[in-house]
Amino acid sequence: MEQHLDPTRCMALFVADVSSTEPFDAGAVRDTVEHTLRRYGEDGCYARAAEVFGDRPEVAERRIRWARASVAQAYDAMSV
């Protein structure tokens, strides 16, 4: 399932301005990842993620798990 688990995509979804509690389909995940990467760039996504991990590690841990699962599902859906 994790053949498409690109860490940069995970970081982009992690820092995106979206709620991890709202329903989010595969297309929305991919669109959000692409938009966030265009907005912040790869380095910007990692920098923003580092801030969250430093400031709110308890929140970051749950959100990165959600981002990883969402990215894996969204990009694996493309290979079906």
Tokens of 76: 């694996």
Q: Please give the Cα distance from 68 to 20 (Å, whole number).
A: 11
Residues 6 or more apart in contact with residue 49 via CB below 8 angstroms: 11, 14, 15, 60, 64
The reported pLDDT for the residue numbered 9 is 96
Domain boundaries, the chain: 2-78
Q: Quick check: pTM over 0.75?
A: yes
pLDDT digits (tens, 9 = 90+) for 20-77: 998 889 999 999 999 999 999 999 999 999 999 999 999 999 999 999 999 999 998 6
